[in-house]
Amino acid sequence: MKTVRLFLCLAAFLAVTLAGNPADADEVVHFESAPVKLSAFRISKAREQGEILSQPPGTPLLGYLSRPQGDGPFPAVVLLHGCEGMRLSVKDLWPQRLVRWGYAVLVVDSFTTRNIRDTCQSPLPDRVFDAYGALNFLSKQSFVDIGRVALMGFSAGGTATLAGTKIEGNEQLMDHKFRAAVAYYPVCATSEGDATVPILILTGDRDNWSPAEPCRKRLARLSDNGPPIELNIYKGTYHDFDAPEFKMGRRVLGHIEKYNPDAAEKSIRSVRIFLRKYLSN
């Protein structure tokens, strides 16, 4: 009987402890993408014609929220998945890693509420607004230091990360701003130069889906006055090199996706140093 009572007490203690530890499990959260703001010109023209324009709503989205133990406020990272949707390393491995480093993490699911399976062969929704919708959501959380939030994306999510932090992009329309950005194997636009925040780009020299050369050309266009952009190119490395679910490698639409443990570990160290540098107090 004593053994049974001891077991029940221990079970009750563990239940209370685990329930109060938000770092033990992801929380599914609901928020909206940042709405596309109407320009002052459009509003004034509508008034001249006797029209009243209402602000268009954002798109309902799902997210996975993780956080360290304690009250915070913590620096945070918003994660954007690639064109194939939510894969293991983005939904689970990176959040676990970032939480261990002391960051709150919000992984944005851009597809479920839009009934999209993937966008690898179709036009992408403008996911920049998804990223800033996530930032708006985090601004309402008392455990987040909204002045210390980074945007981090993978593949198409990395491309959206670069688009969301370019000068004269939609970033200038947003109420809250990211402090820094990390882009894994994005498609770089050679026409873009300076960014609005420091950026870390990580890619492989054998990646023919998101080739490194346009990223090199973008860096060549940087002025001496903009935030720094660091480009790390890993030799002998393909797309998705940080994702251990692709240990055996695979070919998708003519492109190779393959995990490279050496490049993955080097990139992880670079990300940790980068985030510590730009999200520290």
Q: Is residue 203 within 8 Å of 184, Cβ to Cβ?
A: yes
Give the pLDDT score at 281: 75
Report the range out of 11-15, 23-27, 193-197, 269-273 with the highest average pLDDT: 269-273
**Is the pLDDT score of 155 beyond 50?**
yes
Concatenating the DSSP letter of every residue in 101-118 gives: TT-EEEEEE-SGGGT-S-
Tens-place pLDDT, residues 171-181:
888 889 999 99
Q: Is residue 132 within 8 Å of 263, Cβ to Cβ?
A: no
Give the pLDDT score at 173: 82
Name the one residue in this structure whose structure tokens are 């209370």. Answer: 16
The percentage of residues in the chain with a pLDDT greater than 90, rounded to a whole number, is 64
Give the pLDDT score at 46: 52
Give the pLDDT score at 193: 83
Tens-place pLDDT, residues 187-245:
999 888 899 999 999 999 999 989 999 999 999 989 988 999 999 999 999 999 999 99
Name the one residue in this structure whose structure tokens are 């492109």. Answer: 255
Q: What is the pTM of this model?
A: 0.85
**Helical H segments across the chain, by residue range:** 2-19, 40-48, 88, 94-100, 128-138, 156-163, 213-220, 261-279
Give the pLDDT score at 237: 96
Name the one residue in this structure whose structure tokens are 């002025």. Answer: 223
Domains along the chain with CATH numbers: 28-279 (3.40.50.1820)
